[in-house]
């Protein structure tokens, strides 16, 4: 809390975070019973601009709307919705996270996993990665693979915690302008969860 925040504002924020945590936990229960998960859905073209904004705030080089539209057209882009704490029953849930899953012969590539800043550290990315593993397994894929910047400690902690391991380190992966290496991570589908 900054010194400028009112005590009331702090408790409102705590109540909001508590609401989101409950919402995420409930969504997890729904996922378990509904398989694909009720709260994760293909990205509709009407939400591409919102997802682009989350993407641009999350990555050095954001994806364009046309890239997301192309992925949405192939049903490879997904959003994770979270009900707003102050929402009425008929208000649509907000987009908390987005990601892209691209099926290949024997594996699925997970990319552009991004959580909106106000929803971070609430388990949304964990939910998305678990969903991607189930998505891959349902398609008969053996593994989920992804690239992560070597210096992205937050994302590396997330994936390590979910059982991903490093397959390779690629210098120059992000182009001449970026000296940082990429790590190729993967996890077997159906492996014991952590």
Under the binding rule (CB under 6 A), the answer on residue 123 touching ligand COA is yes
Under the binding rule (CB under 6 A), the answer on residue 133 touching ligand COA is no
> Whole-number minimum distance, CB 178 to ligand COA, in Å?
14
Nearest-CB residue for ligand COA: 125
- Are 71 and 43 a contacting pair, CB within 8 Å? yes
Question: What pairs with residue 82 in β-bridges?
Answer: 94
Under the binding rule (CB under 6 A), the answer on residue 17 touching ligand COA is no
- In the region spanning residues 147 to 176, those forming contacts with ligand COA, defined by CB under 6 A, are 148, 152, 154-155, 157-158, 161
Under the binding rule (CB under 6 A), the answer on residue 83 touching ligand COA is no
Among 48, 51, 100, 125, binds ligand COA (CB under 6 A): 125
Among 121, 165, 170, 191, binds ligand COA (CB under 6 A): 121
Under the binding rule (CB under 6 A), the answer on residue 115 touching ligand COA is yes
Under the binding rule (CB under 6 A), the answer on residue 114 touching ligand COA is yes
Under the binding rule (CB under 6 A), the answer on residue 102 touching ligand COA is no
Residue 128's Cβ-side half-sphere holds a number of Cα atoms within 13 Å equal to 31
Complete DSSP assignment for 51-103: HHHHHHHH-SSPPPHHHHHHHHHTT-EEEEEE--TT--TTSPPEEEEEEEEEE
Those residues whose C-beta lies under 8 Å from the C-beta of residue 81, and which sit 6 or more positions away, are 39, 40, 41, 92, 93, 94, 95, 96
Give all strands of the β-sheet with 107-115 in edge-to-edge order: 40-42, 77-82, 94-103, 107-115, 143-149, 182-188, 165-170
> Whole-number minimum distance, CB 106 to ligand COA, in Å?
21
Q: Which residues bind ligand COA (CB under 6 A)?
A: 58-59, 113-115, 120-126, 146, 148, 152, 154-155, 157-158, 161
């Amino acid at each position: 809390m900054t010194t400028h925040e009112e005590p009331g504002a702090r408790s409102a924020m705590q109540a909001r975070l508590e609401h989101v945590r409950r919402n995420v936990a409930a969504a997890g229960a729904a996922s378990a019973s509904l398989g694909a998960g009720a709260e994760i859905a293909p990205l509709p073209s009407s939400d591409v601009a919102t997802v682009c904004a989350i993407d641009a705030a999350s990555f050095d080089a954001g994806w364009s709307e046309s890239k997301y539209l192309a992925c949405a057209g192939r049903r490879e882009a997904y959003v994770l919705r979270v009900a707003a704490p102050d929402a009425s029953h008929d208000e649509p849930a907000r987009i908390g996270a987005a990601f892209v899953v691209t099926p290949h012969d024997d594996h699925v590539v997970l990319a552009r996993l991004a959580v909106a800043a106000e929803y971070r550290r609430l388990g949304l990315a964990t939910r998305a990665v678990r969903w991607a593993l189930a998505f891959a397994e349902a398609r008969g894929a053996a593994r989920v693979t992804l690239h992560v910047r070597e210096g992205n400690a937050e994302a590396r902690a997330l994936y390590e915690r979910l059982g991903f391991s490093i397959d390779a380190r690629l210098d120059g992966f992000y182009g001449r302008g970026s000296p940082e290496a990429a790590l190729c991570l993967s996890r077997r589908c159906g492996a014991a969860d952590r």
